[in-house]
Every structure is written in C-alpha cells, then in structure tokens.
Amino acid sequence: MSDLFRPNWSALPETYWTEIFGDDRPVAVEIGPGLGEFLEFVAKHQPDWNFFAVERSRARAATVRRRIDAARLTNARVLSAPAECVLAILRDSSVDRFYIQFPDPWWKRRHKRRRLMTPQLATQLCRVLRPGGAIEFITDVEEYYDVGRAALRSERRLIEISTDPELQTATSFARKAIKRGWKLHAATYRKLAVD
Ligand SMILES: C[S@@+](CC[C@H](N)C(=O)[O-])C[C@H]1O[C@@H](n2cnc3c(N)ncnc32)[C@H](O)[C@@H]1O
C-alpha cells in the first residue's frame, strides 16, 4: 500500500466515534453526499445508527451541514475533506457500513486521475470496514460500475450480496438518472469475519 494511502502517523484514538457522536451506535460513512438528501433520509429512518459524511466540496459540505441542522438530526455529521485522506486515518474495523453513490460524474478516461473508486480505495474500505459490515456502491455508468466492482472484488474478504432496492433511489442523482431512463448499477459487499 502506498504511503499516500497509509501515512506513517498515528491513527485516531479508539474512542473517536464516541467523541464525535456522544454514543456507541454503529457508524455508517457516506462518501460524497453531494447535497445530503440521502444522508437526511437514512439518518431520519435509522435513528439507532450514526451517519458520518465525507464531502470533498466545501460548498456542498456546508449545504449538508445546513440540512442536518434544519432537520435537527443528532445522529449525522459532515466533514469537508477528500475521502482518501480521511480513510487513511480511520482505524482498522471501525466502520459498520459505507455508502458510495454516484461518486464520479467525470468517469471518462481523461478524468481517470480524479476517480474515487480505485484498487487502493477498495483496500482502504476493506481495512476500515468491520467484519460483517457492508459497502454499497451505486452508479449510472456501466463502465465505471465494472471498474468499481473489479476493485472491490479483488479484496478477498469482500463477498457480493444483494442490494436494498429502497436505498438505490434515495439520492438526487438516482432520481435524475431514473427520470432520464438510465439504468442504475448497484452492488453491495459484505466483509467476511475471517480470512
Ligand atoms: C455526482 S455527486 C453525487 C452526490 C450524491 N451521492 C448523490 O447521489 O446525489 C458526487 C459527489 O461526490 C463528491 N466526491 C467525489 N470525489 C470525492 C472524494 N474523493 N472525497 C469526498 N467526496 C468526493 C463530489 O464532490 C460530489 O459531491
């Protein structure tokens, strides 16, 4: 694993989720929440979970924060940062679920440099995911779906399971894609408890 992905400095203390949320509920991390529609939806419908969103765009993160405040959600937080950097400092087996939904509108070859779903990211997701936890990946771009799936499948502790259809339509991008008649591609992976 490259130093960029796993820098040689201490990870966060073991208690970081408790310090952030003030309780010990399971934690789901959403990468790239955009305007935060999905975050609001799941945080409202699953009050026994905590939701932590990581959004690279500062302006969008600010919108998500306003949405969290307006809906008075005590179980949701947003951080403005590149997900790769945040993942690098999260502890092994410390997250119960990841959501990655329509991560890259710039999936074309010329944008390859900026792609979120890479083999390095899949390795980090698998490391940080708790055994028994799941990663949900959705995109409307078939070619990108294949790239993301190949990266996730190459992690031997991840197995593909069925995807919850309700969660697939809860984001603004999902609704836009459905309206335009585009097919959605979704895959969910569970981390095996043993090697
Ligand atoms: C196409 S939007 C989709 C937003 C939302 N998930 C939805 O389905 O409506 C992709 C979002 O992912 C964010 N994003 C892309 N790469 C990221 C990264 N490396 N770290 C954090 N956020 C990222 C973008 O800033 C953008 O807000």
Among the residues of the chain, which ranges form H helices? 16-21, 37-45, 58-70, 83-89, 119-128, 142-153, 172-179
- Residue with the larger pLDDT of the pair 7 and 121: 121
pLDDT at 5: 53
Predicted TM-score (pTM) above 0.85: yes
Residue nearest to atom 14 of ligand 1 (CA): 32
What does the pLDDT average to over 101-119?
71
Going from the Cα of 116 to the center of ligand 1, the distance in angstroms, rounded, reads 9
Active site residues: 104
For the chain, domains (ranges, CATH) are: 28-191 (3.40.50.150)
Q: Mind listing the pLDDT tens digit for each residue in 125-171?
A: 999 999 999 999 998 888 889 999 999 999 999 999 988 776 666 77
Within 6 A (CB) of ligand 1 lie 31-34, 54-57, 60, 82-84, 101-103, 105, 116, 171-173
Going from the Cα of 56 to the center of ligand 1, the distance in angstroms, rounded, reads 7
Closest by alpha carbon to 140, among 81, 91, 186? 186
pLDDT at 11: 65
Closest by alpha carbon to 191, among 145, 123, 139? 123
Please state the atom number of ligand 1 nearest to the C-alpha of residue 173: 9
Residue to mutate, 31, 51, 98, 115, ligand 1, most ligand atoms under 8 Å from C-beta: 31
Q: Which residue has the tokens 């991390």?
A: 29
pLDDT at 176: 82
Going from the Cα of 9 to the center of ligand 1, the distance in angstroms, rounded, reads 27
C-alpha span between 64 and 80 (Å, rounded): 10
Q: Mind listing the pLDDT tens digit for each residue in 28-50?
A: 999 999 999 999 999 999 999 99
C-alpha span between 136 and 185 (Å, rounded): 11
Strand-pair category, 76-80 with 95-101: unpaired
Most confident of 21-25, 106-110, 172-176: 21-25
